[in-house]
A and B are shown apart, each in its own frame.
Chain A
Amino acid sequence: MATDQIINKDDLVVRFAGDSGDGMQLSGTLFSDASALTGNDIATFPDYPAEIRAPHNTIAGVSGYQVHVGNHIYSSGDKCDILVAMNPAAFKSQLKWAKKGATVIVDIDTFTDEAMEKAGYTENPFTDELERAYTIIKAPVTSFTERIGEAQGVDKKTADKSRNMFALGIIFYATHKKLDQTFAYLERKFAKKPAVVALNKAVLTEGYEYADKLEVMHSHIFEIAHADKMEHGRYRNITGNVATAWGLLAASEKSGRRLFLGSYPITPATDVMVELAKHKSLGARVFQAEDEIAGICSAIGASYAGALACTSTSGPGLSLKSEALGLAVMTELPLVVVDVQRGGPSTGLPTKTEQSDLDQALYGRNGEAPLVVVAASSSANCFYWAFNAAKIALEHMTPVILLTDGYLGNGSQLFKIPSMKDMPEIKPRLAKENDPNYRPFRRDEEKYAREWALPGMEGLSHRVGGLEKCPDGPLSTDPENHALMTKNRQEKVNRVANYIPDQEVTGNPDADLLVVGWGGTAGALTLAVEEMNNEGKKVAYTHFNYICPLPKNTGDILRKYKKIVVCELNNGQFAGYLRTQFPECPMTQYNKIMGLPFEVGELKAEFNRLLEK
Chain B
Amino acid sequence: MEKHFVPKADKEYTKADFQSDQMVKWCPGCGDHAILAALLATFPKTGYKKENVCMVSGIGCSSRIPYYVDTYGFHSIHGRACAIATGVKLANPALSVWVNMGDGDSMAIGGNHLIHAVRRNQDLNITIFNNEIYGLTKGQYSPTTKFGQITKTSPYGTIDYPFNPGELVMGAQGTFFARTLDCVPQLSTECMTRAAKHDGCSVVEVLQNCVIFNDKTHAAITDRAVRDDRTIVLEHGKPMLFGKNKEKGLRFNGRCLETVTIGENGITIDDIMVHDETTEDTGIHMMLAHMGGDLPVALGVIRNVKKVSYTQLYEEQMEEQMTTGKYKCMDDLLNSGDTWEV
Interface residues, chain A, CB within 8 Å of chain B?
Answer: 33, 36-37, 39, 227, 230-237, 246, 249-250, 253, 258, 260, 262, 279-283, 285, 287, 289-291, 293-294, 297-307, 309, 323-324, 327, 331, 417-420, 454-467, 474-475
Contact = CB atoms under 8 A, between A and B. Distances in A.
Most B Cβ at <10 Å: residue of A39, A253, A282, A455: A455
A323 B79 CA distance: 11
Kindly list the 9 A-B residue pairs having the minimum CB-CB distance in the complex, ordered from nearest. A281-B325, A301-B87, A465-B75, A298-B87, A297-B83, A280-B321, A302-B91, A305-B91, A301-B84
B75 A236 contact: no
B256 interface: no
Contacts, number: 206
Contact of B91 (A293, A307, A418): A307
Given A305-B91, A465-B75, A466-B75, A283 B322 contact: yes
Interface stretch (B48-56, B182-190, B246-254): B48-56
Interface residues of B, number: 57
Given A309-B87, A417-B334, A466-B76, A294 B325 contact: no
B74 interface: yes
Contacts of A454: 92
Given A234-B340, A475-B67, 20 more contacts: A233-B342, A234-B339, A246-B334, A280-B322, A281-B324, A282-B325, A285-B314, A289-B116, A290-B116, A293-B113, A294-B113, A297-B77, A298-B84, A301-B83, A301-B88, A301-B89, A305-B92, A327-B76, A460-B51, A461-B50
A284 to B, nearest CB: 9
Interface in B328-342: 328-331, 333-335, 337-342
> Considering residues A280, A304, A457, which has the most beta carbons from chain B within 10 angstroms of its beta carbon?
A304
Contacts of A299: 87
Interface string B45-71: 000001111101001000000110011
21 contacts: A36-B340, A37-B338, A234-B339, A234-B341, A246-B334, A280-B318, A281-B321, A282-B329, A285-B91, A287-B87, A293-B83, A298-B90, A302-B88, A305-B87, A418-B334, A420-B329, A455-B53, A463-B75, A465-B73, A466-B76, A467-B75
Contact of B342 (A227, A249, A283, A461): A227
A33 B72 contact: no
A305 B88 contact: yes
B87 A297 contact: yes
A298 B83 contact: yes
A260 B54 contact: no
A293 B80 contact: yes
B22 interface: yes
Contacts of A463: 66-67, 72-75
A120 B102 CA distance: 59
Interface of B: 22, 50-54, 56, 59, 66-67, 70-77, 80, 82-92, 94-95, 112-113, 116, 314, 317-318, 321-322, 324-331, 333-335, 337-342
Nearest to A231: B342
Contacts of A324: 77, 80
Main secondary structure of the interface of A (DSSP, over half): mixed
Given A463-B67, A475-B67, A417 B335 contact: yes
Contacts of B95: 305, 455-456
Nearest to B116: A290
Give the residue among A237, A294, A464 with the most B Cβ atoms within 10 A: A294
B9 to A, nearest CB: 11
A265 to B, nearest CB: 15
Contacts of B334: 236, 246, 417-418, 420
A499 to B, nearest CB: 23
Given A298-B87, A305-B87, A235 B77 contact: no
A289 B94 contact: no
Nearest to A38: B340
Given A232-B342, A455-B72, A260 B87 contact: yes
A39 B342 contact: yes
A350 B330 CA distance: 32
A287 B329 contact: no
B26 to A, nearest CB: 14
Give the residue among B67, B86, B91, B340 with the most A Cβ atoms within 10 A: B91
A456 B51 contact: yes
Given A301-B56, A324-B80, A419 B331 contact: yes
A154 B85 CA distance: 54
Contacts of B89: 301, 305
